[in-house]
Amino acid sequence: EAHHYTIFDTDGRMILDRPECIMGDFTEGEDYYNPVDLTGVSISEESIQYLKKFKAYVESKGASVYFIAPPLWEEAVDCDTVEFERLKKEEEQEIGISYLSDPEDYFFPKDDMYDTVYHCSNKGEKLRTRLLLQDLQQAGVIMEAASSSGLSCYKRTLIIRGKSWNSFRCCT
């Protein structure tokens, strides 16, 4: 019988409890945890054209598009980290969408990961949310609410260039 559990609530917020990492130890050369090697990787022409069209569509609606680095288990990085910066620059130049984050800032230790090299635990989710909020604020995409309580003071409303959405989730 298949296991069934709820991952998201009706508003699309993740509610799955991810208390700790459930992955085993990383073994060099093992593909089970999908080691990430960006050596020589480049974005395909098909992807470039698709993302350029997507960017144009979003901008025609008065919004903006940005790239954000995904969280990544640091032990799964199987190349020189300069490869992440190289691919980031290539994507920005070829597509015209800016990165708001430094990919290396999102390399997390095993304790912050859950079940894959890209999925955060509860603890990692809080760290990633803080990093994301800092990146969004530094880029001028969101504004911090007036409060002395730090990151927890962000309103649940995301403000992007004058437009607002009420479904943005923040952490304490």
- The residue among 4, 85, 102, 8 whose CA lies nearest residue 39 is 85
Count of H helices and E strands in the chain?
A: 3, 4
pLDDT band at residue 161 using 50, 70 and 90 as cut-offs? very low
Alpha-carbon dihedral sign for residues 160, 136, 79, 124: negative
Q: Are 112 and 121 in contact (CB under 8 A)?
A: yes
pLDDT > 90 in the chain, percent: 43
Mean of the pLDDT values across residues 47-62? 94
Query: Is 54 within 8 Å of 66 (Cβ atoms)?
Result: no
Q: Is the pLDDT of residue 171 over 60?
A: no
- Answer yes or no: is pLDDT of 66 > 90: yes
What confidence tens digit (pLDDT) does each residue in 98-111 have? 999 999 999 999 99
Tens digits of per-residue pLDDT, 143-157? Answer: 765 444 444 434 334
Residues 39, 36: Cα–Cα separation, whole Å: 9
Task: Tell me the pTM.
Answer: 0.72
Task: Give the model's confidence band at 22: pLDDT under 50 very low, under 70 low, under 90 confident, else very high.
Answer: confident
Which one-letter DSSP state was computed for residue 69?
P
With bands split at pLDDT 50, 70 and 90, how would you rate the model's confidence at 32?
Answer: low
